[in-house]
Structure 1
């Protein structure tokens, strides 16, 4: 990488400490980075990670809160004189994508990026080795026609692999060894493809839907197979997130079900008016930015929930969540950024998905 390109890359990951949580989240999306260098008066000040932002949002902090208020007191940085092997070991241990190097005065002297010095490799952390994953692959993929007239949605390619294989590979990097796939439409093609993957280090058991069972109904057919906390993922989405973090969040919160949610922002191109109870103007907001938590289609569930899903009946995840909440159960929400969620469920969005995959999700290849 030449000096100009590297400086542009460094500039893209720098943010002032007066920026807000949503500013940082959007800059991470733009830079395809999960870590930013925080500056104060244009000098190195700290680091902020996607984990820092997620913890703040999980604690119901406002999107307008300044990042300076959530910074960790202790961060991992290097010194320009440090041995590169020592720095690489720290980066690998912390799973960080770059390391700032400071001089004797505490000024930023250099940034070393993991992908500059280490060839692409797959690191498996094994934390989820006993956690099964259910992939919902039974749908017809009507929104992806005409390609799904030929192949099932689960085998729609992103780069050189079908999306379902990329999903499986991502979970395998967290240690997952056992998958269950709920199949129906063109099920034989899915089975044949995965049966012929050479050297795969995981197993897939298939459950056939004889009729449409909704977004979660098919887990009722897996009662005898799943007895521990498990993930459920749609077969047409990717999440740029370490699922070990999601699992720990789910367990720490004693949740029965956790939803991975993408934070979606909408800019209203007009001034909006809020009225009071008397119909009079209470507030005028000029072109506001609205934030919503979007359901990505990836969940963590406790095994007892399988017994609460009607057997072999149409049942959506919304039905299950409403049932849990009605009896006072806990449903967690784990936030990810807007561009950390890739949905290829519609043909008109497929080109955009390919572009995003080649940048933000390239490390999953």
Structure 2
């Protein structure tokens, strides 16, 4: 909510003032705060009505009817997570507080459901052969493999469209005609689609050199073999806030060694770690790149994203990691493809 300060009220204010404030602000409650804006409680029109039925008068302070310990969201918390919790709790609005309990905002269901339109371009790298799925991709490009009720690439495009992104470039190479015939100019999906046609495989970043014009806004770049519920807009906003030049989405990855790992010393065996778990932070195949980074990509040459990030770091440009914790699946192997089809109905219904 943009003008959330209008719903802050002092604990000594009368219930009558709270009712006036609720009416003028068009909200369903006010937030009771002290002089430092620390949240003391919330007060809805229903709380006031129940207080009056108990015998309170409109001249009594808001503390006499307020709800102590209202549900809150943490500053910086993802909006989709907040919305899910509000739905679960049946709440229309939720105050946002910092670590000290100070009110810094107010989220409403209406605001969270409103999708902002974004002019930032998106490039989807859809030119790969899908070698590890060769038995399925001999006649069909990997992004067009059906996952659930539609091609994987269609799910990605639809997800972007639902989040307000409408300018989409598809980098294509292997069996590109199938992709172009399916998506056309994008009008059937309420987006504008253009094509970056690779004459040769150009890696996970090289096709960006085929853009006709250098974007003036940061752009999303994503692989076409990812099934995810990632909030691309949130990742983009955090990139801009951090004044970063290149952001890489990352995930935690665990791998268990199936044997006892022996640590050998000069005197013999020092220790045996039985089936230890190795933990890594790995790339999730989604990126945000500012316009300056695109100038580092050589024209029409194969370049992978790790090499591009190396160039960014060599020039002391700012990079950042964006940790994603929600549903994410890289469909690289047959087992991943089978799992994607099992998950689809529940995750993307």
Which TM-score applies when normalising by structure 1? 0.63
Q: For 1:205-220, what aligned pairs fall within 5 Å after superposition? A: 205-220=194-209
Hey, what does 1:305 align to over in structure 2? 293
Aligned-partner SS, 2:243: coil
**Is the CA contact (8 Å cut-off) linking 1:223 and 1:307 kept in structure 2?**
no
Farther off after superposition, 285-294 or 326-335? 285-294
The 1-side partners of 2:224 and 2:81 are apart by 31
Aligned-partner SS, 1:172: helix
| Deviations 1:120-162 (CA, angstroms, capped at 9, x unpaired) | xx955125x1111000111122222222112211211111111
Hey, what does 2:276 align to over in structure 1? 288
Hey, what does 1:177 align to over in structure 2? 166
> How far 1:223 sits from its partner (Å)?
5.0
Q: Does residue 167 of structure 1 match 2:156?
A: yes
How many equivalent pairs are there? 261
> How far 1:202 sits from its partner (Å)?
0.6
Q: 1:197 to 1:131 in 2, by over 3 A?
A: closer
Hey, what does 2:245 align to over in structure 1? 256
Q: For 1:1-365, what aligned pairs fall within 5 Å after superposition? A: 94-97=82-85, 98-100=87-89, 123=113, 125-126=115-116, 129-195=118-184, 199-224=188-213, 226-273=215-262, 285-337=273-325, 340-359=327-346, 361-362=347-348, 365=349
The 1-side partners of 2:151 and 2:306 are apart by 28
**Is the CA contact (8 Å cut-off) linking 1:223 and 1:306 kept in structure 2?**
no
Kindly name which structure, 1 or 2, has the bigger radius of gyration based on alpha carbons. Answer: 2
Aligned-partner SS, 1:246: helix
> How far 1:198 sits from its partner (Å)?
6.7
Structure of greater relative contact order (alpha carbons < 8 Å, 6+ residues apart): 1
> How far 1:336 sits from its partner (Å)?
2.0
> How far 1:286 sits from its partner (Å)?
4.6
| Deviations 1:205-236 (CA, angstroms, capped at 9, x unpaired) | 10111111111001011151522100101111
| Deviations 1:105-129 (CA, angstroms, capped at 9, x unpaired) | xxxxxxxxxxxxxxxxx955125x1
The 1-side partners of 2:264 and 2:139 are apart by 53
Hey, what does 2:22 align to over in structure 1? none
**Is the CA contact (8 Å cut-off) linking 1:123 and 1:173 kept in structure 2?**
no
Hey, what does 1:63 align to over in structure 2? none
> How far 1:261 sits from its partner (Å)?
1.1
| Deviations 1:263-296 (CA, angstroms, capped at 9, x unpaired) | 11223344545568x7777765454333211212
Aligned-partner SS, 2:189: coil
The 1-side partners of 2:160 and 2:275 are apart by 40
The 2-side partners of 1:78 and 1:99 are apart by 20
> How far 1:246 sits from its partner (Å)?
0.9
Hey, what does 1:65 align to over in structure 2? none
The 1-side partners of 2:288 and 2:321 are apart by 10
Alignment RMSD: 3.5
Q: 1:159 to 1:275 in 2, by over 3 A?
A: same
> How far 1:239 sits from its partner (Å)?
2.3
**Is the CA contact (8 Å cut-off) linking 1:126 and 1:173 kept in structure 2?**
no
Q: 1:318 to 1:196 in 2, by over 3 A?
A: closer
The 2-side partners of 1:200 and 1:351 are apart by 26
Q: 1:92 to 1:152 in 2, by over 3 A?
A: closer
